[in-house]
Chains A and B, each alone.
Chain A
Amino acid sequence: MSYTVNHLKALESESIFILREVAAQFQNPAILFSGGKDSILVTYLAKKAFYPAAIPFPLVHVDTGHNFRETLEYRDKLVERLGAKLIVGSVQETIDGGRVAEEKGYNASRIRLQTTTLLDLIEKYRFDACIGGARRDEEKARAKERFFSHRDEFGQWDPKNQRPELWNLFNGRMHMGENFRIFPISNWTELDVWQYLAMEGIEMPSLYFSHKRRIFYRDGNWLAESPNIPMKPTERAEEMVVRFRTIGDITSTGATLSSASTLDDIIQEVAATRVTERGGRADDQRSETSMEDRKKEGYF
């Protein structure tokens, strides 16, 4: 018997350790569930970490109202199968309540507005730790993020003054009103995620696999035709074979022209690809530091 562990098992062990630390150190944690592969992975790892007990965290979905139908179907099925508790926060309600104003114009998006809905939810349910599926390889501001990321009473991130994280010791102490964001899969790359999902045989939403869809081209991205995205007079949608590399709000999730129809095809494609996965995310292209700016305000 050789005592070696492959990289996927090492990552799994680390993530499960983090999830169990959250259950032990916090009173009222929640998983932020977007319906994308990363939050599916986190949920799956949480099931593993606590089996045969139920996942000790509710799933929280910040719903922009601009969803792919497939995402909601998958979400509801998963929640039912795991016997998990689901809490939905609605950006539409935040807008209707006058807490935020809808962006205007062709590139209007509800990505930034999610922050207010999320912070309201944290206050309403008194969550002291929100577990997210962010990974450090996704984006340069996220490369600096801790596993246990401290947020002040306004939900803000202070990147220049983060707590040091040494060995496997995670400091979740805080004052009343503050909270933590927890990122158990920080050390996974996009390829690791897909390799693991394939190794474990986890069923994934159909949007990740190639399918026919009516899409149109705008600013370097292919966007899905949808009542949520007003099209310019010059834009024309056509049916193409596509898949999505990331799944988020429909208005800012770019499609990839791809014929990858199995997990193995996706691994091949990800291994060979030359563009980052958030390359198709209009929300990150707004400025060089748009992720850092959003995170400081309290974004995921």
Chain B
Amino acid sequence: MVDLITAKSNQYAEVEKFDSNSYLNMELLRFTTAGSVDDGKSTLIGRLLYDSKSIFEDQYEAVKATSEKRGEQYVNLALLTDGLKAEREQGITIDVAYRYFSTPKRKFIIADTPGHIQYTRNMVTGASTANLAIILIDARHGVVEQTRRHSIIASLLGIPHIAVCINKMDMVDYNQEVFEKIIEDYRDFATRLKTKDIHFIPVSALLGDNIVHRSENMKWYEGVTLLYLLETIHIASDINHIDLRFPVQYVIRPYSDEFHDYRGYAGRIASGVIRPGDKITVLPSGFTSKVKQVELDGKVLNEAFAPLSVTVLLEDDIDISRGDMLVRENNLPRQSQDIEAMVCWMSDKPLQLNGKYALKHTTKDVRAVIKEIKYKLDINSLHRITDAPCIGMNDIGRISLRTTAPICCDAYTKNRDTGSFILIDEGSNVTVGACMVID
């Protein structure tokens, strides 16, 4: 039995005292990984978790014992992330699993997803909230179909940063030329991606090179380690702080003597900044008013910004309910019943042309009919299939739809919250489509 984890790599375990105030400055970074055991994805996650002291002894011992029982050569770290019985039996990742670790600088949420094309919907789910995607490339094989597919999904879902980890460098003698060649190939292909911030790191997840510690074996590499990148990459600007979009989620009416006339609009700021005194417009009614107060739990705030949940009070009593949106009068979203969108389909029953679905957008529920299926995307090549496209499970394509009432949306590339919506099958109530609004 080979122990993947050596004590010397356990850097954070040796931190003497936890600085209990440092957490007040910790940011949250969400990233996604896609792939199967063979790609070294689980080993990479295991390495990050263990080296940041996030795998506990009892978890590690349990996984080691199971690996031994199965007669496996290595401690199979996939058993840490594959939580369901069916996954452990078959040795595959089926569903998205969420993993957590933190360093003194940041807290990380990993959406760990399967990598095979038949689980595209799970990759899309994991990617929908991520700030960064880790794309794993096997140094022996270079850029392959799966690399392209994972990158295309990351780009379509608007993930702002990609970290390309060229893994298994130990199997190619830590050769710099191999690394450079793969970067060149990837860059050729990446010109078609929307993601602009792409980083390349040569690693060996198995042996720990350039994951947490700088590699002794690749002195030619002058860049940062993966963990350093995750800890320092600038994410504060990923949130749109320009266009105020405040979808009203719930109206707070206490009906108590003390707060008799209180009417607070509760919601999470999707984008932009809101301050007392701001002139706002309510959509879809078009009424205007001024912000009287922004608060949470009785604490008055000077200003609030995305992604905070707050309660907004207005100067005027106007009719506002869940599904309405507060915006600035000179910065309006698009209001339309005719929507163009990319859809990722998530159901065995294909998308029906002229079919009707329930549609959920921010806090608003409407119904929609599919007017046109424009094309299906070959997600290995970005090639558009326009000849009688049928969008089935795991397919991505472009559609036009018409809604029963206007929705207030922005292009997905400008705003991930107001640019996204889901389609729900009205018979089964299951979420069947994930959609992104096109410019």
Contact = CB atoms under 8 A, between A and B. Distances in A.
B434 interface: yes
A136 B100 CA distance: 9
Contact of B85 (A49, A139, A271, A292): A292
Contact of B420 (A162, A167, A186, A274): A167
Interface stretch (B102-110, B205-213, B286-294, B367-375): B102-110
B59 A276 contact: yes
Given A13-B307, A164-B346, A272 B18 contact: yes
Interface in B69-100: 80-86, 88, 94-100
Contacts of B250: 20, 23-24
Contacts of A5: 27-28, 307-308
B83 A140 contact: yes
B27 to A, nearest CB: 6
A95 to B, nearest CB: 29
B125 interface: yes
A111 B26 CA distance: 37
B125 A21 contact: no
27 contacts: A2-B236, A7-B102, A7-B106, A7-B107, A10-B28, A13-B308, A24-B322, A24-B363, A51-B298, A52-B259, A53-B255, A143-B97, A143-B98, A144-B97, A163-B431, A166-B129, A166-B434, A169-B361, A169-B420, A171-B424, A173-B358, A173-B424, A186-B98, A187-B109, A189-B107, A274-B13, A289-B85
Given A52-B258, A160-B94, A3 B420 contact: no
A42 B106 CA distance: 23
A49 B80 CA distance: 34
B57 A7 contact: no
Contacts of A137: 99-100
B168 to A, nearest CB: 26
B118 to A, nearest CB: 14
Interface residues on chain B, size class? 35 or more
A139 to B, nearest CB: 8
B253 interface: yes
B422 A267 contact: no
Contacts of A140: 80, 82-83
A279 to B, nearest CB: 5
A53 B429 contact: no
Interface in A1-39: 1-14, 16-17, 20-21, 23-24
Interface in A136-161: 136-137, 139-144, 159-160
B252 interface: yes
Contacts of B129: 166-168
Given A49-B266, A166-B128, A189 B85 contact: no
Given A7-B23, A53-B255, A275-B57, 13 more contacts: A8-B24, A12-B309, A20-B249, A20-B266, A139-B83, A159-B95, A160-B86, A166-B431, A168-B268, A171-B424, A171-B430, A267-B20, A292-B83
Interface in A173-215: 173-175, 186-187, 189, 191-192, 195, 198-199
Contacts of A52: 252, 254, 256, 258-259, 262, 264, 298
A268 interface: yes
Contact of A199 (B24, B85, B305): B24
B398 interface: no
A175 B249 contact: no
B430 A279 contact: no
Contacts of B200: none
Interface in B223-240: 236, 239
